[in-house]
A and B are shown apart, each in its own frame.
Chain A
């Protein structure tokens, strides 16, 4: 489920450190060329690492769903995230829906894992019921949008293997192009290609290829803004499905960081009192 799309803290500091160490040693030994896999990982890790130490965040966003005919439907929701420093665990997050009004108060709690399935609980306000749900559904659409569940949850560095593909200038930005292949089970993607800029190391664009290897979707990340502590967030995500012609935009309000949230705010018991 949605945590902070495309912006995750590194959960592999030691791996990163090792990679940097290897890179450093490699610098002194010109005979050892860096493999595309190492370089791809290094670029992804640098991007991932730029997000560390955000502690917690709260953000309101609007989701605009568009069909082939251009008809729009909207959702509004709040995403609250707790950074978990332990490298072997993922972050914890709460998604609370406000609109459409018939799902007002519906909430989803996720405890992300790296390669194991996430723990997820859904709160249904009509019955005041909390239901533990299966998180096997990685590739299904999230609330009818062009975003799949895994597009929100699978952002931990170690959920992929990487390969450096080269450099490219997009929209006037010099970027590194890195291919990533999901390591976790039940992904709907055979591979993804990401464009990471060379200035602030943020993901600017991603192409998603389906299980057959055909281009399925393109995500463009726009309106990056810097927050105190050097944390960058995109405030506009545009996902286009090339096979259906449908699209979904995510429009973020300003983030609040370090709001003092604790582990205890991310337990299933709080779902019925969220506001």
Chain B
């Protein structure tokens, strides 16, 4: 898939499929073989407000087209489910951002005593807002967005046991997905482009190493708790400059990670904690995110809710581990939910490094238009960047994204 032409052709095909399904909007076959079709297709403009920092990087507006279709089938008894969710993006400026993926393609059996899923799926664990520390199953689709909330479909066999005392998940994960990176022309990259065809691994099996994960999740009164263990190829790569000095080579380590997520919900307060311990990347280290979300409901006698968020981020990794921007940081945020017919929302957040004062600001807002459209605004600004901070390569990459999506 490294040939840009092939990739573009693939995206066009995916786009064609999406448009075709768009025309089949809300059609449902009757009877046993009912397939439910839904999805979205949209246009996005990402505007970089400053001149680029590195050679060959694009300047100005980065337009793109994206879409996702969700095909769902379930038998009459509700025992067998099949879901297929292809995704594509065609980007006008960065070939590496033009890509397609099967976000989901699985069969699931729902039995009285167990659930079994085989195929590609996305799994999300965790409670905090500024960083998703315990969420380890899926690789991040990093070309999509900077918020680490887009994921590549992960091949898996997932056995679930729901018992009165909690839910147990066992994951066998054959087949590793490499992280996506912006191309040479792309913004939001390091000083050199990443050559993902040259990735190296701790495991002799490279991307075919079989990873394992276990999770236990339950709630007791006002407490929600999750515990998990992961053993296998770490999703975060270390990036080393190649001997020719023109590119970065990703290396994926074998890691063991234990994670905890905890939330205490009382009155209008959500108290949150995520913590991990990880071995396999330099010295073993711990990392945590802890904080709260407090909401004023129907603020000043309106229908709107106003929330306040604060989180403390710590990460104890050393120089042999992949870099992180969240080593010693504070996150502050405020969320406005209008509770109107258009479901208007806005979230404004700032992350401040308390050691070097590096500060980033992010605003996300969205609103439905009519019944089928949604307009989104996203903007991220680096207000102050210390040369030694992990964000230094992105110093000139403040951006404004507008996105219009049609849902079907």
List chain A positions with a Cβ less than 8 A from chain B: 65, 67, 73-74, 99-105, 117, 119, 127-134, 136-137, 139-141, 143-144, 188, 264, 267-270, 273, 275
Question: How many inter-chain residue pairs (CB < 8 Å) link A and B?
Answer: 97
Q: Contact at B269–A102, with CB atoms within 8 Å?
A: no
Q: Is the CB of A100 within 8 A of B160?
A: no
Give min CB distance, A145 to chain B, whole Å.
Answer: 8
Cβ contacts under 8 Å, B162 to chain A: 264, 267, 269-270
Q: CB distance A131 to B127 under 8 Å?
A: yes
Chain A residues within 8 Å of B36, by CB: 275
With an 8 Å Cβ cutoff, the count of chain B residues facing the other chain is 45
Which residues of chain B (376-408) have a CB below 8 Å from chain A?
405, 407-408
A140:B297 contact, CB within 8 angstroms: yes
B297 touches A101 (CB 8 A): no
B269 CB contacts on chain A under 8 angstroms:
134
A144 B343 Cβ-Cβ under 8 A = yes
Question: 1/0 per residue B7-46: CB within 8 Å of A?
Answer: 0000000000000000000000000000010101000000
Q: How far is the CA of A99 from the CA of B295 in the complex (A)?
A: 27
Nearest CB of chain B from residue A154's CB, rounded to whole Å:
15
In the complex, what residues of A have CB within 8 A of residue B297's CB?
Answer: 136-137, 139-140
Q: A67–B339 Cα gap in the complex (Å)?
A: 14
Nearest Cβ on chain A to B293's Cβ, whole angstroms: 9
Chain B 308-334: CB-based contact to A (< 8 A → 1; otherwise 0): 000000000000000000000000000
Interface stretch (choices B186-194, B357-365, B367-375):
B367-375
Cβ-defined partner of B371 (8 Å) among A73, A134, A140: A73
CB atoms of A136 and B268 under 8 A apart: yes
B: which residues have CB within 8 A of A? 36, 38, 40, 72, 74, 78, 81, 108, 110, 115, 122-124, 126-127, 149, 160, 162, 167, 217, 219, 224, 263, 265, 267-270, 295, 297-298, 303, 305, 339-343, 368, 371-372, 374, 405, 407-408
> For residue A267, which residues in chain B have a CB less than 8 angstroms away from its CB?
162, 167
Chain B neighbourhood of A132, CB < 8 A: 127, 219, 224, 263, 265, 270
Told that A100-B368, A144-B343 touch, could you supply 9 new A-B pairs with CB distance under 8 A? Answer: A73-B341, A127-B149, A132-B127, A140-B339, A143-B343, A267-B162, A269-B162, A269-B167, A273-B110
Query: Which residues from chain A contact B372 at a C-beta distance below 8 Å?
Result: 100-102
Instruction: Please tell me if the beta carbons of B340 and A268 are within 8 angstroms of each other in the complex.
Output: no
Query: A105: which B residues are within 8 A, CB to CB?
Result: 38
Rounded to whole angstroms, the CA-CA distance of A129 and B148 in the bound complex is 13
Give the complex CA separation of A129 and B125 in angstroms.
7
Contact of A134 among B268, B405, B407 (CB under 8 A): B268
B341 proximity list for chain A (CB < 8 A): 65, 67, 73, 144
Given contacts A128-B122, A131-B127, A137-B297, are A102 and B81 in contact (CB under 8 A)? no
